[in-house]
Amino acid sequence: MEKVVASIMCGDPLYLAEELAALEAAGIDWLHCDVMDGVFVTNLAMGPYVLEPIIKTKGMTTDIHLACQNPESYIEMFAGLQPDYLTFHYEATDNITKLLGQIHSHGIKAGVAISPGTPVDVLYPYLENIELVLMMTVEPGFAGQLFNWTVLDKLKQLNQQLETVTKKPLIEVDGNINSETIKKISPLANLYVVGTSALFNDEEGSYYEKVRKVERSFVSKRR
């Protein structure tokens, strides 16, 4: 399964309702919601009051990405919204098992994100208890960065490791994801987070047309 995921942080904040309607009409059924604290990353984004009405519509699967220090506090802050997934950064904690249990106790699926410089094998002990692995292909914090091609090797290593486990998490990639970078990644991932480089930009065409362009880069569509 390969799917386009919209990074709603990159949408127009003055017209979020219209953005959501347009994305749904384009066939998007999964939203990536970045929460940034200004500490773990030097940016701020998407507090609970912004995300609450988006999640309450239940029109799309929602994945909240906590790019935050002290993720245990943010898990409690956002768990009440009942997103489908809550994802925290491996680099932000020294107690992965505790945070996975914290998320699962709220009936929410758990994800763990790693930045480009973090070896993928740090996740291997936890794969059976993770529903989502978020592989950052740029440093978390700001849109529009260059794709880090070294992540391709990590994706290959992760896929090989997943052959050894019974319960396989979804693999999500985020950071300068577009039709060109996807051609190199597919089919190593399941979920492709698109933002300013492929969807929320000034290029001509509707969201529907842009999503179809991205989807044509999937291996399954190129065969």
Catalytic residue among 12, 63, 153, 174: 174
Mean pLDDT for 201-210 is 92
Q: Is the pTM of this model over 0.75?
A: yes
Catalytic, 174? Answer yes
**pLDDT score of 144:** 64
Catalytic residue among 34, 37, 63, 121: 34
> Could you give the domains of the chain?
32-189 (3.20.20.70)
Supply the mean pLDDT for the chain: 94
Tens digit of each residue's pLDDT (9 = 90 or more) over 20-49: 999 999 999 999 999 999 999 989 999 999
pLDDT > 90: what percent of the chain? 88
Whether residue 223 has pLDDT greater than 60: no
Whether residue 139 has pLDDT greater than 60: yes
- Can you give the three-state secondary structure of the chain, one letter per residue? CCEEEEEHHHCCHHHHHHHHHHHHHCCCCEEEEEEEECCCCCCEECCHHHHHHHHHCCCCEEEEEEECCCHHHHHHHHHCCCCCEEEEEHHHCCCHHHHHHHHHCCCCEEEEEECCCCCHHHHHHHHHHCCEEEEECCCCCCCCCCCCCCHHHHHHHHHHHHCCCCCCCEEEEECCCCHHHHHHHCCCCCEEEECCCCCCCCCCCCHHHHHHHHHCCCHHHHC
**pLDDT score of 193:** 97
Catalytic, 34? Answer yes
Mean pLDDT for 44-70 is 93
pLDDT > 70: what percent of the chain? 97
Confidence class of residue 143 from pLDDT cuts 50, 70 and 90? low
The span from the CA of 131 to the CA of 140, in Å, is 20
Tens digit of each residue's pLDDT (9 = 90 or more) over 7-25: 999 999 999 999 999 999 9
Contact 91, 114 (CB under 8 A): yes
**pLDDT score of 109:** 98
Whether residue 99 has pLDDT greater than 60: yes
